[in-house]
Amino acid sequence: MSSPLRITNSSPRPNWVSTRNPCKACAPLGAALVMRGIAGALPFLHGSQGCATYMRRYLISHFREPMDIATSGFSEASTIFGGGENLRQGLDNVTSQYHPALIGIATTCLTETIGEDMHGLLHEYRTKSSSGTENPVLVHVSTPSYSGTHVDGFHGAVRAVVEQLAEAGAAPSAYFGKAVNLFPGLVSAEDLRFLKQVAADFGLPITLFPDYSETLDGESMEKYHKIPDGGTTIAALRATASAKASIEFGRTLRAKPTAASFLQERFAVPAKRIGLPIGVHESDVFFAAMEKLAGCKTPEKYRQQRGRLVDAYVDGHKYLFGKRAIVFGDEDMVVGLASFLAETGVVPVLCASGGKSGALASSIAEVTTHLRDPLSIRDGVDFMTMSEEVACKQLKPDFVIGSSKGAKLARELGVPLIRVGFPIHDRIGGQRILHLGYRGAQQLFDLVVNTLLELKQNSSSIGYSYL
């Protein structure tokens, strides 16, 4: 930690045993989202029927797109005798209905607790069904819901898929050693499209994984597509082993084994880990990494976007300086937002997450070195704890920024909630919010400034025509 004195991680009262208004979902949800980002794939949960249905509902309410998740649908008998038969039948049925290229299987708390041997069950299934004409690729990830959050399930699934698919020599020769793997973490569909555009503008072939930019933000259809178009192809995933390098976003990943660290250890693909490119500083780091890999300068259009963003920061700085924000959500999103807010003059007085990587405080310290104000950083917390922290430390926030799950907190505090990240269940277009790069920061900046201006205008007896 670069400046330990200004960062506090102490709790306002003895910790609560219960979780009250959670700031997290469970691990299999993150895994299902990743599986939806593979071309021709269907996510599959090994567990009770309800898990798949609840997660579908949670994801549908954010993306407003079909989100089919199959399940082995455990019964009492499968819980006692093992779910092998349900798994087999479920995989057969998914194959005959959806004709998927890949089935991405995640476990649940139930199957982890009864100790299902997924390797064994899937090996047996593959052996038995090898004579069939249609054999989807099967990948699986262990996602016990009693461990970590949806973000851990997300990263775990990215790693598991790469571990199971990456193959030395699988890349076509034109691609070999030239492409870059990009593992962006849990970002919006718009962010994914942005990353693909940047790579194209740099002339750098990339494998972006996962890529749900089309599968979860698709076009209106004349005919229903059983599995939506788009996604990272299986061939590209196999070729990740022969990439020139991997970039992964996420300062809080630290020592965690990831897809990039696996490819580095196993196939000597150099891994570069940077923060989510939110705001000028973190985007600069990203573009510098891209320049190095592409061996060329950042295209003019991004240089202009950066210049325009800095110009906007100048235009709006007075409205933001010294404003106090509560930032919450997935850890790396919180780090990125804290970096962005701090560079515009806003003090992120409370940075909180339901995740508990252990690296939230140190990561925020890294990106807010110029801040003098004290920050409260809380990981592994829920919304009621945040609320108590605000009251206890008299944090007096001007606004709250994070997912729609903070709506209740913002309402209690009587301040606006600026909705970013995941999930956004009470507004349309969460999948189309651009957070990344200079243009993403531009949109966030305009949104933050205008939210505060609107508040100022509405709460003034004069109204003001010019602000």
Partner 1 sequence: MADILRERERQIYRKGQQQPFQLDCEKQSAAGSVSQRACVFCGSRVVLYPIVDALHIVHGPIGCASYTWDIRGALSSGPELHRLSFSTDMQELDVVRGGEKKLHAALCELIDAHHPKAAFVYATCIVGVIGDDVDAVCKRVSLEKGIPVLSVHSEGFKGTKKDGYRAACDALLNLVGTAPIDDISPLSINILGDFNLAGETWMIRDYYKRMGVQVVSCITGDGRIDDIRRAHGAALNVVQCSGSMTYLAKSMKEKYGIPFIRVSYFGVEDMSKSLYDVARHLKDKEMLARTQAMVREELERVMPVIAEYRKALEGKRAAIYVGGAFKAFSLVSALRLLGMTTVMVGSQTGNSEDYEQLRELCDEGTIIADDSNPLELSSFLEEKDVDVFIGGVKERPIAYKLGIGFCDHNHERKEALAGFEGMLNFAREVYSSVMSPVWQLTPRKRGKSLEVVK
Nearer to partner 1, 63 or 287 (CB): 63
Q: What are phi and psi of 186, to 5 degrees?
A: -80, 95
Q: Would you count residue 444 as binding partner 1 (CB under 8 A)?
A: no
Given the complex with partner 1, which of 81 and 321 has the nearer CB atom? 81
The angle subtended at Cα 352 by Cα 351 and Cα 355, nearest 5°, is 135
Does 101 bind partner 1 (CB under 8 A)? Our answer is no
Instruction: Show the binding pattern over residues 225-264: x = contacts partner 1 (CB under 8 A), - = does not.
Output: -x--------------------------------------
Among positions 40, 84, 136, 144, the unique one binding partner 1 when judged by CB under 8 A: 144
Rounded-to-integer distance, Cα 341 and Cα 360, Å:
16
**In the numeric block, which tokens belong to residue 393?**
């430390």
Residue of 5, 130, 222, 463 interacting with partner 1 (CB under 8 A): 222
Verify binding: residue 305, partner 1, rule CB under 8 A: no
25 or 448, CB closer to partner 1? 25
User: Where does 208-258 have alpha helices with state H?
Assistant: 234-238
Interface residue with partner 1, options 35, 48, 286, 290 (CB under 8 A): 48
Token digits of residue 402: 């994070």
300 touches partner 1 by CB under 8 A = no
Tokens representing 111 are: 């199957």
Question: Most distant CA pair in the chain: distance in Å?
Answer: 78
Q: How far apart are the first and last CA of the chain?
A: 39
Contact (Cβ atoms closer than 8 angstroms) between residue 200 and residue 448: no
Contact window for partner 1 (CB under 8 A) among 84-92, 174-182, 195-203, 446-454:
84-92
**108 to 127: interface string for partner 1, x by CB under 8 A:** xxx--xx-------------
Q: Does 66 bind partner 1 (CB under 8 A)?
A: yes
CB of 217 to partner 1, least distance (A): 12
- Please name the amino acid found at residue 83: G
Q: Is the peptide bond before 210 cis (omega within 30 degrees of 0)?
A: yes
Measured from the CB atom, the residue of 19 and 450 that comes closer to partner 1 is: 19
- In angstroms, rounded to a whole number, what is the distance separating the alpha carbons of residues 455 and 446? 14
For the window 159-198, what string marks contact with partner 1 as x by the rule CB under 8 A? ----------------------------------------
| Interface pick for partner 1 out of 31, 33, 94, 139 (rule CB under 8 A) | 94
DSSP H or E run through 401: strand 399-402
Stretch that binds partner 1, among 128-136, 215-223, 232-240, 242-250 (CB under 8 A): 215-223
| Strands lying side by side in the sheet with 245-249 | 206-208, 180-183, 245-249, 271-274
Does the bond joining 423 to the residue before it have cis omega, within 30 degrees of 0? yes
**For residues 52 and 182, which CB has a smaller minimum distance to partner 1 in the complex?**
52
82 binds partner 1 (CB under 8 A): no
**Count of positions on this chain that bind partner 1 (CB under 8 A):** 74
Name which of residues 24 to 43 contact partner 1 (CB under 8 A). Answer: 24-26, 28-29
11 binds partner 1, rule: CB under 8 A: no
Sheet with 102-107, strands from edge to edge, namely 70-71, 41-46, 102-107, 137-141
Which residue lies nearer to partner 1 by CB, 17 or 314? 17
Q: Whose structure tokens read 């991004």?
A: 302
Among 1, 8, 11, 65, binds partner 1 (CB under 8 A): 65
Task: Note whether 212 binds partner 1 by CB under 8 A.
Answer: no
At 376, list the tokens: 């409260």
Cβ distance 36 to 215 under 8 Å? yes
The yes or no reply on residue 465 touching partner 1 (CB under 8 A) is no
- Asked if 135 touches partner 1 (CB under 8 A), the answer is no
Name the nearest CA neighbour of 339 among 295, 271, 282: 282
For Cα atoms 180, 185, 186, give the angle at the middle one, nearest 5 degrees: 140
User: If DSSP codes are grouped into helix, strand and coil, which group holds residue 6?
Assistant: helix
Of residues 86 and 252, the one with the C-beta less far from partner 1: 86
φ, ψ at 22 (rounded to 5°): -65, 145
Q: Taking the complex as a whole, how short is the minimal distance between the CB of residue 61 and partner 1, in angstroms?
A: 6
Question: Rule CB under 8 A: is residue 296 a binding residue for partner 1?
Answer: no
- Residues 384-423 within binding reach of partner 1 (CB under 8 A): 384, 405, 408
Residue 154 in the binding site for partner 1 (CB under 8 A): no
